[in-house]
Every structure is written in C-alpha cells, then in structure tokens.
C-alpha cells in the first residue's frame, strides 16, 4: 500500500474552520488552520486519487492537482459537500465546523450598546451526520477534537454519526491539534478495532489515515 493505491477513487476532504457572520464586519469562527485537512488532500492526491477539497477560510494554497471549492459558512460547506458527494468513495471530514451560527445576520454593523449584550445562536446542520444517513454512504471518516474523555466521546461520535472511522485528537496537548505541524491521534473503527498513532507530522499522520482507508476500500470501485 501507498504509491498509487488510491488510483481510480474519488476522495472528498473538508478542511479548515467555518465563518458564521454576525454582521458585515464580524463573524464567529475557531482556531482551525486547515493544515490537517490539506495534508490529507495532498497525500490522497499523491497516492493517485481524484481529490475534492471543500475548504473553509485558510491561508493555505491548494495542493497541486486537487480540486478546491472554497466556502465560508457551515451551510455553504453543507451545500458544497452534498452537491459533490455522489461518486465519492471516501469522505474525510477534517473541517472544524462551527456548531452554532447567529440566529440572524444583521444587514448593518451592530452599534455599541449597553455594557452587556446577548447574541442569539442557532445550531448548524451536522454535515457528517447527514452523510451518515445517506442510503449510498461513502467510506466516512470523522475527526473528534476533545479536551477530556477522548476515547469515550470519539466512540460515541463514531456510532451516533454512523462512521467507518474516527480520528481522535486531544487538543489540550500543546503539540497536537490546532495550529501546529504535528499531531498524535487515536483511530477507532466501526468494527470495534483501535490503533494509536504517536506524535508525528501532519503529513505522516495523513498517510497513516489513508493507509487505513485504502486497506478497507473495495479496490478501484466506488462504494
Ligand atoms: O460532534 P463534533 O463536532 O465533535 O464532530 C466532529 C466531526 O463532525 C468532524 O469530522 C466534523 O467535520 C464533523 N462535523 C460536521 N458538521 C458539524 C459539526 C461537525 O460535519 N456541524
């Protein structure tokens, strides 16, 4: 496995944060840099896959040969993912999708008011859970960034979102997760198996993730 082992497969990767606009000058977002997802997209392309990268706002250049679709909000990401998922053998959902968005986007800049103000938020669609409910489900890989009870929460997400694999990161560690070039992870699988990945570069971790996917895909045939 590795050189060319994803030839003939289409892999969708989502990456980066989403931005949820409050008014024309403000938004809610998070610390995701997009580096892990871009590493997965680059590695999948190097291994021969056709790669569709649905990316939230990042400062990163699109990896060579990757088809990038740039989006802003969770709902933009949902639309792009659902439009392109047919024909994908694999979806790797690295993106740190904002869980909530402002209930209303104000058309004009909100003016300073009293000492306290309240912003009403509503829940965003869970794109990965929606993919998990598809009749023709691609091989689905989710990410779980946690600061406690890593394995328990990740196992619950794997089951609840109907995933094939989940990559769990402890983001309370300084050398893993957001905005660094290294990561350590725990892989959990639908069949109950698990694998620990020690600290390594995000490029190498991307290849370890793809090793697991490639080994579990029916050869050359989209599911
Ligand atoms: O539930 P939680 O947000 O921790 O799950 C993380 C996983 O779910 C990631 O793979 C992320 O891309 C995906 N997700 C999503 N849509 C959301 C929230 C999370 O696709 N609204």
Note whether 55 and 68 are within 8 A (CB). Answer: yes
Indicate if ligand 1 lies below 6 Å from the C-beta of 73: no
CB burial of residue 140 (10 Å; 0-12, 13-18, 19+) = buried
Q: Where are the alpha helices (DSSP H) in 127-178?
A: 127-132, 150-160
DSSP H or E segment with residue 109: none
Bridge partners (DSSP) listed for residue 12? 52, 91
Note whether 221 and 206 are within 8 A (CB). Answer: no
Instruction: Summarize pLDDT for 133-160 with one digit per residue, the tens.
Output: 999 999 999 999 898 999 999 999 999 9
pLDDT at 65 over 60: yes
Q: Whose CA is nearest to atom 21 of ligand 1?
A: 126
Indicate if ligand 1 lies below 6 Å from the C-beta of 150: no
Q: Give the position, in ligand 1's atom list, of the atom nearest the Cα of 161.
A: 8
d(CA 10, ligand 1 centre) in Å: 21
Q: What is the reported pTM?
A: 0.94
Q: What tokens were used for 91? A: 């979806």
Instruction: Summarize pLDDT for 161-196 with one digit per residue, the tens.
Output: 999 999 998 888 777 667 678 888 999 999 999 999
Specify binding-site residues for CTP: 99, 109, 125-128, 143, 157, 161
pLDDT at 205 over 60: yes
Give the per-residue pLDDT at 171. 82
Nearest to 5 by CA among 212, 186, 185, 223: 212
Contacts of 106 (CB under 8 A, 6+ apart): 22, 23, 24
Instruction: Summarize pLDDT for 77-132 with one digit per residue, the tens.
Output: 999 999 999 999 999 999 999 999 999 999 999 998 888 999 999 999 999 999 99
Nearest to 18 by CA among 71, 79, 81: 71
Q: Cα-flanking dihedrals φ and ψ of residue 182, to 5°?
A: -120, 165
Q: Whose CA is nearest to atom 17 of ligand 1?
A: 126
Q: Which of 1-5, 31-35, 117-121 has the lowest mean pLDDT?
A: 1-5
What percent of the chain has pLDDT above 70? 95
- The catalytically annotated residue of 30, 124, 169, 179 is 30
Place of tokens 């989940």: 166
Mean pLDDT of 196-206: 93
Nearest to 158 by CA among 199, 192, 207: 192
Annotation marks residue 169 as catalytic:
no
Indicate if ligand 1 lies below 6 Å from the C-beta of 144: yes
Give the per-residue pLDDT at 223. 45
Indicate if ligand 1 lies below 6 Å from the C-beta of 126: yes
Give the per-residue pLDDT at 183. 84
């Amino acid at each position: 496995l590795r050189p060319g082992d994803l030839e003939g497969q289409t892999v969708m990767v989502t990456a980066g944060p989403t931005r949820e606009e409050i008014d024309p000058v403000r938004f809610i977002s998070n610390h995701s840099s997009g580096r892990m997802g871009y590493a997965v997209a680059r590695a999948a392309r190097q291994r021969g896959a056709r790669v569709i990268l649905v990316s939230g706002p990042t400062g990163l250049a699109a990896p060579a040969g990757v088809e990038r679709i740039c989006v802003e909000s969770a709902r933009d990401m949902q639309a792009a993912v659902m439009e392109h998922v047919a024909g994908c053998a694999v979806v790797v959902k690295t993106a740190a999708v904002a869980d909530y968005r402002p209930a209303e986007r104000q058309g004009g800049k909100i003016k300073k008011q009293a000492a306290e103000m309240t912003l009403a938020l509503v829940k965003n669609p869970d794109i990965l859970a929606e993919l998990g409910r598809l009749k023709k489900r691609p091989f689905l890989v989710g990410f779980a960034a946690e600061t406690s009870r890593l394995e328990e929460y990740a196992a619950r997400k794997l089951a609840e979102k109907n995933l094939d694999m989940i990559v769990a990161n402890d983001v309370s560690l300084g050398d893993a997760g957001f905005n660094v070039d290294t990561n350590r992870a725990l892989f959990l699988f639908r069949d109950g198996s698990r694998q620990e990945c020690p600290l390594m570069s995000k490029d190498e971790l991307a290849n370890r993730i793809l090793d697991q996917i490639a080994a579990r895909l029916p050869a050359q045939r989209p599911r």
